[in-house]
Chains A and B, each alone.
Chain A
Amino acid sequence: RKEVEQDPGPFNVPEGATVAFNCTYSNSASQSFFWYRQDCRKEPKLLMSVYSSGNEDGRFTAQLNRASQYISLLIRDSKLSDSATYLCVVNVNTGGFKTIFGAGTRLFVKA
């Protein structure tokens, strides 16, 4: 079983739709959680950190469920520019910190 698992998609949605991605992690020593966005042939960019209390940044809402070991990302009112790969990233405390990337979920937003 992979340490961080995501549905690879692709998710094809129309503009204005709401779309949600989930990510599960297996290591209970996971301590911090992030969503990154990566455009084709570009570097990953930090989208948002994820907290147990949930956090929102404009149209994006991230949630962490430690009991079930999953994190989610909700995008409301999708824009064409949201088309990208969304990477779930987990930091695990193994004595030192190890950062584990999920394989990414591809999103295509169409007009």
Chain B
Amino acid sequence: DTEVTQTPKHLVMGMTNKKSLKCEQHMGHRAMYWYKQKAKKPPELMFVYSYEKLSINESVPSRFSPECPNSSLLNLHLHALQPEDSALYLCASSQDATVKGYTFGSGTRLTVV
């Protein structure tokens, strides 16, 4: 299994909703990441988990809350988002948080209305 699986693929939510994005990998990777990508821009790092511990938070607003229940799963909890948070949210994993390349999931396309 060489995939990173993200659900849902598409999500439309209101500004008062609470929702969660899910990411799963079974490659034994010990680093997992959340990225945000706007149209025609490169991915922007949000969070890094290394060995199930949050190691990097790139000054992300608290309305985004990551969670790593175990080494295979990564969640992103969303609450009180703004329309400008609409984007493609990408999960990625790598063998560890050092020099290896990433495997990305196919992303969740989020629209906040």
Interface residue tally on B, bucketed by range:
20 to 34
Taking CB atoms, residues of chain A closer than 8 Å to B90 are 43-44
| Interfacial residues of chain A within 1-55, with CB under 8 A of chain B in the complex | 31-32, 34, 36, 41-46, 49
What CA separation (Å) do A87 and B102 show in the bound complex? Answer: 13
A97 & B98 in contact (Cβ 8 Å cutoff)? yes
Q: How far is the CB of B37 from chain A (nearest CB, A)?
A: 9
Number of A residues with CB within 8 Å of any CB on chain B: 22
A91 & B104 in contact (Cβ 8 Å cutoff)? no
Cβ contact of B107, chosen from A43, A49, A99, cutoff 8 A? A43
Chain B interface, DSSP helix/strand/loop, else mixed: loop
A44 & B104 in contact (Cβ 8 Å cutoff)? yes
Task: Tell me whether B55 is interfacial, beta carbon within 8 Å.
Answer: yes
Task: Tell me whether B42 is interfacial, beta carbon within 8 Å.
Answer: yes
Taking CB atoms, residues of chain A closer than 8 Å to B43 are 44, 101
- Residue numbers of B with Cβ under 8 A of A are 41-45, 55-56, 88, 90, 97-107, 109
| Sample of 9 more A-B contacts, CB < 8 Å, known A46-B101, A87-B42, A91-B99 | A32-B99, A34-B101, A42-B106, A49-B101, A96-B55, A97-B98, A101-B42, A101-B44, A102-B42
